[in-house]
Amino acid sequence: MDILPAHIGIIMDGNGRWARMRGLPRIEGHRQGEESIMEAVRFCAERGIKALSLFAFSTENWERPPEEVRFLVNMSREVLRKRLEEFMKLGVRLRHLGRRDRIPEKILAWFDLAAAVTAENRGLNLNINFNYGGRREILDASLRAAESVRRGSLTPDVIDEGTLRGFFYAPDLPDMDLLIRTAGEMRISNFMLWHLAEAEIVVTPVLWPDFGRKDLEKALQEYRCRKYMEKSDYHPPAGAGSRNR
C-alpha cells in the first residue's frame, strides 16, 4: 500500500529570485508560479491527497513594495476566476484561510464565491492561506474562545487542545503530515504553526516557478522513506537482538 500524506503544505518560495536571475520584474516570477500552483493542485487531486495548503500571502507580506502587493492581491482573484471550472472538474473544495481584514472586498467576494461553488466537492481540500499568519490564527482562536467564556457558553475548565482547535479558521483541517518549502530556505515563516507540530519537512533548492510534478514526487518519496524507517524502528524484525554473541 502506498504511504501518502493526508495533508500537504507548501511554502512557495523563490519567485523573486527566479525573476531576478532572468532580469525580469519580481511580479513575473509570481506570474510564472501560477502554473506551478495548478500542477500541484492537479497532482494532489489525482493522487488522492486529502488536503493541500498553499502559503499564498502572509500577514507580513503587506510590507512588500506596493506594486508587488497589488499584483499578488489581484493575482489571487485571477487564479480563482480562470481556474474555477477546472477546480470543479477535479472535485476540489476550495477555501480561504486567514484574516479578512485588509483584503479588498472584490477579492473577498471571489474567495467566498469559490468556496460556495466548490463546497459540495469531495476531492482535494485546497486551502489558500492568504493574509495568513500562524501566530495570528492561534491568537484569533484564543480570543474567540475567551469571548465564548465571557458569554457563558464555555467554561475555562473544559478548554483543551481540541476545544481551542474548534475556534481555528478551519476546525476540520487535520494536522499537516508533510511540509514542502522551495528555494532552499530553512524556515517555516509563521506558517500553520499548530498544524506543523508533527510534520515531516522537505526543503528543495528548486525555485517555485520551476517546481513541478517530478519535484512533488521526490518530496513524496522522501516522506515514504522516513515513514518506512519510522515503522521499522518500532517493528524490528522477529528475533532481532536475540542472537548469541
Residue 238 included in any domain: no
Dist. CA 19–CA 25, nearest whole Å: 6
Question: Does position 188 have pLDDT exceeding 60, yes or no?
Answer: yes
Question: Does position 239 have pLDDT exceeding 80, yes or no?
Answer: no
**Cα dist. 18→13, 60, 63, 73 in Å?**
10, 21, 20, 20
Question: Does position 241 have pLDDT exceeding 60, yes or no?
Answer: no
Residue 234 included in any domain: no
Question: Does position 202 have pLDDT exceeding 80, yes or no?
Answer: yes
Residue 30 included in any domain: yes
The model's pLDDT over 121-146, given as tens digits with 9 standing for 90+, comes to: 999 999 999 999 999 999 999 999 99
pLDDT band at 223 (very low <50, low <70, confident <90, very high): very high
The three-state (H, E, C) secondary structure of the chain, written as one string: CCCCCCEEEEECCCHHHHHHHCCCCHHHHHHHHHHHHHHHHHHHHHHCCCEEEEEEEECCHHHCCHHHHHHHHHHHHHHHHHHHHHHHHHCCEEEEECCCCCCCHHHHHHHHHHHHHHCCCCCCEEEEEEEECHHHHHHHHHHHHHHHHHHCCCCHHHCCHHHHHCCCCCCCCCCCCEEEECCCCCCCCCCCCCCCCCCEEEECCCCHHHCCHHHHHHHHHHHHHHHHHHHHHHCCCCCCCCCCC
Catalytic residue, from 2, 13, 15, 172: name it: 13
Answer yes or no: 127 catalytic: no
Question: Does position 110 have pLDDT exceeding 80, yes or no?
Answer: yes
Catalytic residue, from 2, 61, 190, 233: name it: 61
pLDDT band at 159 (very low <50, low <70, confident <90, very high): very high
Residue 168 included in any domain: no
The reported pLDDT for the residue numbered 229 is: 86
pLDDT band at 233 (very low <50, low <70, confident <90, very high): low
Number of domains, the chain: 1
Answer yes or no: 61 catalytic: yes
pLDDT, mean of residues 94-120: 97
pLDDT band at 2 (very low <50, low <70, confident <90, very high): confident
The reported pLDDT for the residue numbered 230 is: 83
What is the domain extent for residue 98? 7-133+176-229
| Residue recorded with cell 468556496 | 115
Residue from 194, 199, 191 nearest 98 by CA:
191
Question: Does position 236 have pLDDT exceeding 80, yes or no?
Answer: no
pLDDT band at 196 (very low <50, low <70, confident <90, very high): very high
**Global confidence as pTM:** 0.92
Question: Does position 34 have pLDDT exceeding 90, yes or no?
Answer: yes
Question: Does position 167 have pLDDT exceeding 90, yes or no?
Answer: yes
For residue 215, give the CATH number of its domain. 3.40.1180.10
Residue 230, C-alpha cell as written in the block: 519510522
The reported pLDDT for the residue numbered 243 is: 41
Residue 162 included in any domain: no
Dist. CA 91–CA 125, nearest whole Å: 9
Residues 196-227, buried b or exposed e (16+ Cβ, 10 A)?
Answer: beebbbbbbebbbbbbeeebbeebbebbeeeb
The reported pLDDT for the residue numbered 244 is: 41
The reported pLDDT for the residue numbered 238 is: 52
Residue 109 included in any domain: yes
Residue 236 included in any domain: no
**20-24, 79-83, 227-231: range with lowest mean pLDDT:** 227-231
Residue 170 included in any domain: no
**Cα dist. 220→99, 150, 158, 181, 206 in Å?**
30, 45, 38, 13, 15
